[in-house]
Structure 1
Amino acid sequence: MSKYDTTIKQQTIIDEESLTSHRRTPFADNKGGKVDTDLDSDDFFIPTTSRGTTSVSSQDNDSKTFLVASHTTKRNLVNRHVQLIAISGVIGTAIFVAIGKPLYRGGPAFLLLAFAIWCIPILCITVSTAEMVCFMPVSSPFLRLATKCVDDSLAVMASWNFWFLECVQIPYEIVTVNTIIHYWRDDYSAAIPLVIQSLLYLLISLAAVKWYGEMEFWLASFKIVLAMGLFCFTFITMLGGNPKKDRFGFRYFHDTPFKKYFPDGIDRGSSAGYFQGFFICLIQASFTIAGGEYISMLAGEIEIPRRVLPRAFKQVFMRLTILFLGSCLCVGILCSPNDSSLTAAINEARPGAGSSPYVIAMNNLGIRILPDIVNITLITAAFSSGNAYTYCSSRTLYGMALDGYAPKIFTRCNKQGVPIYAVGVSLLWAFISLLQLNSNSAIVLNWLINIITASQLINFAILCITYLFFRRAYLLQKDKLPELPFKSWWQPYTAIFGLVCAMVMMIVQGYTVFFPKNWNVQDFLFCYLMIFINIGIYIFYKFIWRLGKDKIKDPATISFEDELREIENHELEHNFDKFRFYTE
């Protein structure tokens, strides 16, 4: 019987002698070592945490039963769910469609180089996130750690920024689906895909998390199949396996590996042009490549998280790196940056699959039907990403409400353990996609890309700052805390490097708007508004709402006891369930 039911249930415990012997069994860490929990009898109760997610009722000593109140969310996600959901949240349509713009502006070599370079700070941010999330795998862990290790003001800023980041990506994917459909026809209202997708997201999100995990597992599988299929397509066609029998190989890497780019159209010399060609590709990489925050948002609903998460962080990063760099290599092989169809699609701001280098290459080679198949799969990829963002945004709002940073109504869950009001409010952001009714879809996508890039870079910086404070607290209390399930390397320099890269990119990602010919207030706000909003939230909460009383936490007094005991109770119960299964 699971402690993660929504009502209080009785759970009969084995006799006192076997209980005593069992509670001294240490937990295995992810490396096969032991984490000594040194439990006493009270450790079998689930304590009330600062977030209010758990509580304890009472113990009946005569019957030796424990009355346990539990999480409203449930730990029903297993390793295969985690792997695919994490990939689904990061892999959208950007590596299949939006990647055409940096290819056109920077050339195939700069595109591949920029993505490879940006993977380095992403690795630094990911391993820093992994170390603290694997240690404390609870709901919204890195946001919760900001409260615990830094100060409440940073936690408020981080929470609202991440919630906004996830919410604004829902309309982005809805607009993307609409632009892909335009590949075939455009004689319909943009409100139709909005309504259909929103209803499907709602129905999926209201189901129990294990069914959400299954749905997202199969949707994410389509993305991986699509990526692998396009890799195979590239390999076959470059060797002459195409209707034109053209063995083009790495022709475009040889002919035009690098391109000069001048945002305002004024030639300022080769060096400036080539640098900006590379830099525009780097900015696209900072939008396209995400880190481990999507894995961390699953932590509160993962079964045996201290065993699953370390492996998940390692495997997901490697798979994402292969997918991102493989896609950059493939589009550079298949499509020339000077291709007339690509040039027209970018200059005319054609929406959707019409600007995809893959689709353009297929049409150039005279391959029929396959572009339609790719576009259908792209729709499922965009839908899957929107589904993942709906999950992350609702769980973020749920965690904020538990911490007191949002109204308590968002803590309410249905009997499946789904925060229904948080899901509903997060999905309201889907209506932003209606902006395309009055503007070109490509323009709306560009607005959303700029907002998402800024919020994502802010989130990366917050992750690194939180890690540095977490590390300080852990080192001071190391003797009385369990060993870290995941250890990153070269810390704290790894986190500092990730922080510096994120902050520098945050400042320069909208540099093109400062050219005299390009200046307009609208573009400036879409690139930098989130920075000012987040600074405003921090200052307002710290100096106005809390009247300057919100101090940086003393690392020596920070307590991880409640969270660790919560995880240990879950692991104990999981071991009990397995023991019962094999002995009954």
Structure 2
Amino acid sequence: MALIPTFGTGLFIGAGQALAAGGPASLLGSYVLVFLLSYCLTTAIAEIAAHRPALNGTMVAHSYEYGSNHLGFSLGYLRWYSLAMMVPFEITTAMVNLSLWTPEPSMAIRIAMVAVLILLFNMLPQRAFQRTETVFTGLKIITTAGLTICSLFLAIRGIPGTPIRGFRYWHEPGPMNEYLIPGGGGRFLGFLQCFLYSVISFTLTPEITVQRAERSNTEGGPSILSMARTDSGYLFALYILSAFMMTFVSPFDEPQLTNYGTGAGSSPFVVGFVRAGIPALRILVTVLIFLSSVASGRSFLYISSRTLYTLAESGHAPAMLTRCNRYQVPYVAILTSALFSLFAFLSLAESSSALFNSLMYFITTSGSISWLCSSIIYLRFRRKTEEQGFIRVHQSRIQPYGVYAGILGCTLLPIANALVLAFPPPSSEELPVQSWSQLRMRNAIPVYLGILSFLSLYFGHQVRTAILQRKLKLEDGTTSRRSWWRMFGLERDGPSTSAPVSSPPGP
């Protein structure tokens, strides 16, 4: 269960929005569809890793060989800042879980406390950090199992005087919500919006799954592809089971799920226990979800800082980022990645519910770009191995058709988002036209920023490379290629000893 430390992101809180948008049937359907899309990408990446493992990240390493220097550079930084942005996302999730929705000065203290706690966990020595990971893994398993048991009890036996009972909410208010417009079109839009909200749960799953499988791979043990399949199956079971239990305890028309239309709201589990009249259980669940957010935040900061450390080792980031303390903790890379936690303080300017959505759209857009690039790299890997007559021992039966489906899905995601945003506001007194326009703007800007960030890295690297080559050609008449960091004197002395196996000497 390698992915348990990051399990829960976008599930306990984000699934509430998805449930409110599409209803219980749409929630389960969207989770299945997003998982299938994620599984197609996971097996493709795992197939490459099974033949050429790279401890520092398969797609970042092999994108240089099967893509280009520009793609490898931009994809490496895309992966870094996407993971780093998950830290303020988890902090914001913790604030939303505590029902701290309204901006107020005291929230700054709470955000700072959570951010410092996540940072301190990452400053621990490696062995101590792994021990805390074991503790949080057990905590998340207990939380998921406890919520499942309690939800089943409420669904099967129920509590006298409460409306929760079996599939009641599948009948009242119904299995699917009519979102924005009435009729079948509204149910389709509800499913579409539910699908968009569900992507966050699996955005970073493919590469994290494969990277953990690479690090756990031992001679004589199961292959990386087999381990990736197994972990994906476990993750799918946990998500589907949790989502299914949510449909028992909370109706989709509960306004607290979306903080009355503002954005992310209460967890469906919390809503269910409030409706059941069990305040003690509500408090316990709130605390457990809060700890789950902290655990996920510390894991994402760990992975993002190691990604930045790898970029520095391979010559694509300043060498100072490789500095470690006596416990071999890369504190400079950790502190640099932790700076993204400052985005959580935007909750002081707008509702944490709205900030949750803004961060979510940015991360899912970056994840979709990463999925698209990974699909292209896999197709080039497959074509190159076939041209060389290389026999792939580890193959997935669904490939290359799974990658084709992945490319189609990644292409349709921004189109689906634009389609939902193009519709007129719903006829509701709780959400006036002006608020709906502001909501659409808040959701659209992060999408455009995610696309522009990647394009800026890609084309910016092309421009810098061209300038460097021209300058070198004018100076010594050669076209030798060196890392552009050398222009600023930031490269370490001596060659790197742990660069990705397929990374070229420099971009």
Residues 232 and 522 (structure 1), Cα distance of their counterparts in 2 relative to 1, 3 Å cut: closer
What is the distance in 1 between the residues matched to 2:421 and 2:273? 34
Does structure 1 residue 347 correspond to structure 2 residue 253? no
Equivalent position of 2:24 in the other structure: 108
Q: Which residue in 2 is equivalent to 1:117?
A: 33
Q: Which amino acid aligns with 1:227?
A: T
- Counterpart selection for 1:496 from 393, 398, 404: 404
Following TM superposition, by how much is the alpha carbon of 1:300 offset from its aligned partner in structure 2, in angstroms?
A: 7.0
Query: Which position in structure 1 is the counterpart of 2:229?
Result: 314
Checking the alignment, whether the CA contact within 8 Å between 1:88 and 1:385 is kept in structure 2 is yes
Alpha carbons 2:123, 2:331 under 8 Å: kept = yes
1:171–1:430: 8 Å Cα contact kept in structure 2? yes
1:326 aligns with 2:241: yes
Alpha-carbon displacement from aligned partner over 1:156-200 (angstroms, at most 9, x marks no partner): 111121111111111111122223334799987223233333333
**Aligned residues of 2:157 and 2:165 also touching (Cα < 8 A):** yes
1:295 aligns with 2:209: yes
Among candidates 136, 146, 161, match of residue 219 of structure 1? 136
Q: Which residue number in structure 2 is paired with residue 472 of structure 1?
A: 383
Q: In the aligned structure 2, how far is the partner of 1:326 from the partner of 1:544?
A: 49
Structure 1 residue 368: Cα displacement: 2.8
Distance of 2:113 and 2:362 partners within structure 1: 25
CA distance 1:141–1:377, change in 2 (3 Å) = same
Q: Deviations over 1:265-304 (max 9, x none)?
A: xx4x512211101111111121222322113444675463
Residue aligning to 2:495: none
Aligned partner of 1:242 in structure 2 is: 159
- Structure-2 change in CA distance of 1:285 and 1:351 (3 Å): closer
1:379 shift after superposition: 0.9
Whether 1:258 and 2:176 are equivalent positions in the alignment is yes
Aligned-pair distance for 1:305? Answer: 7.8
Q: CA 1:373/1:509 → structure 2, altered by over 3 Å: closer, same or farther?
A: same
- Cα distance in 2 between the residues matched to 1:350 and 1:275: 20
Structure 1, residues 395-418: CA drift from partner, whole Å, max 9, x if none?
A: 111122223221122223334333
* Partners of 1:129 and 1:292 within 8 A in 2: yes
Counterpart position of 1:568:
none
What is the CA–CA distance in structure 1 between the aligned matches of 2:349 and 2:220, rounded to whole Å?
49
- What TM-score comes out, normalization by structure 1 length? 0.72
CA deviations 1:116-135 (Å, max 9, x no partner) are 12221111011111112233
- AA matched with 1:228: A
SS at 2:229's partner residue? helix
The alignment's C-alpha RMSD in Å is: 2.9
Residue in 2 that maps onto 1:459: 370
Matched-pair contact (CA < 8 Å) for 2:103–2:351: no
Decide which of 256, 281, 285 is 2:198's aligned counterpart.
Answer: 285
Per the alignment, residue 75 of structure 1 pairs with none
**Residues 392-471 of structure 1 aligned to structure 2 (within 5 Å):** 392-471=303-382
Which of 153, 162, 166 pairs up with 2:79? Answer: 162
Give structure 1 stretches of 5+ with no counterpart.
Answer: 1-82, 551-561, 566-584
Equivalent position of 1:208 in the other structure: 125
- Tell me if the contact between 2:27 and 2:191 (Cα under 8 Å) persists in the aligned partners: yes
Say whether 1:513 aligns with 2:416.
no
Percent same amino acid among aligned pairs? 24
Q: Once the 2 structures are TM-superposed, how far is the Cα of residue 331 of structure 1 from its aligned partner?
A: 1.3
CA contact under 8 A between 2:168 and 2:248: conserved in structure 1?
A: yes
- Count matched residues: 458
SS of the aligned residue for 2:106 comes to coil
Alpha-carbon spacing, 1:410–1:122, altered in 2? closer, same or farther (3 Å): same
SS state of the match for residue 259, structure 2? Answer: helix
Residues 1:532 and 2:452 aligned together: yes
Q: Deviations over 1:453-505 (max 9, x none)?
A: 111111111221222222233334455x8x64x43223222212112212221
What SS does structure 1 have at the residue aligned with 2:243? helix
TM-score (norm 2): 0.82
- Cα distance between partner residues in 1 of 2:415 and 2:163: 44
- In structure 2, do the counterparts of structure 1 residues 406 and 506 end up closer, same or farther at CA, with 3 Å as the change threshold? farther
| 8 Å contact from structure 1 (residues 177, 193) kept in 2 | no
Cα distance, 1:351 vs structure 2 = 6.1
Greater fraction of residues in helix: 2
- Distance (Å, rounded) in 1 between the aligned partners of 2:349 and 2:315: 38
User: Against the structure 1 CA distance between its residues 406 and 326, is the aligned structure 2 distance closer, same or farther, given a 3 Å change threshold?
Assistant: same
Deviation, 1:527, is 2.0
Q: 1:251 to 1:191 in 2, by over 3 A?
A: same
Select which of 96, 102, 108 maps to 2:12.
Answer: 96
Q: Is the 8 A contact 2:100 2:352 kept in 1?
A: no
Aligned CA distance change for structure 1 residues 107 and 544 (closer, same or farther; 3 Å): same
Give the counterpart letter for 1:319 in structure 2: Y
Describe the SS at the equivalent of 2:334: helix
SS at match of 1:292: helix
Equivalent in the alignment of 1:29: none
Distance 1:158 1:564 in 2: 16
Change beyond 3 A, Cα 1:172–1:510: farther
- Equivalent residue letter for 1:335: S
Equivalent position of 1:87 in the other structure: 4
> What is the identity, as a one-letter code, of the residue corresponding to 1:542?
Q
Confirm or deny: 8 A CA contact 2:43 2:225 kept in the other structure. no
Specify whether residues 336 and 388 from structure 1 end up closer, same or farther in structure 2 by C-alpha distance, changes over 3 A only. same
Give the structure 2 partner of residue 5 of structure 1.
Answer: none
* Structure 2 Cα separation of the partners of residues 549 and 257 of structure 1: 60
* CA 1:208–1:306: 2 relative to 1, 3 Å: farther
Query: What is the aligned partner in structure 2 of residue 546 from structure 1?
Result: 466
1:460 and 1:331 map into 2 onto residues whose CA distance is 28
For the 8 Å contact 2:90–2:297, the answer to whether it is kept is yes
Partner of 1:152: 69
CA contact (8 A) 2:84 2:301 kept: yes
Tell me if the contact between 1:390 and 1:427 (Cα under 8 Å) persists in the aligned partners: yes
Residue 13 of structure 2 aligns to a residue in which SS? helix
SS in 2 for 1:337: coil
Conserved 8 A contact 1:450-1:527: yes
2:270 pairs, out of 359, 365, 369, with 359
Name the SS for the 1:236 alignment partner. Answer: helix
- Residue in 2 aligned with 1:570? none
Cα distance in 2, alignment partners of residues 106 and 383 from structure 1:
28
Q: What are structure 2's unaligned runs of at least 5 residues? A: 426-435, 471-498, 503-507
Name the CA distance, whole Å, in 2 between partners of 1:428 and 1:442.
21
Tell me the residue number matched to 1:304. 218
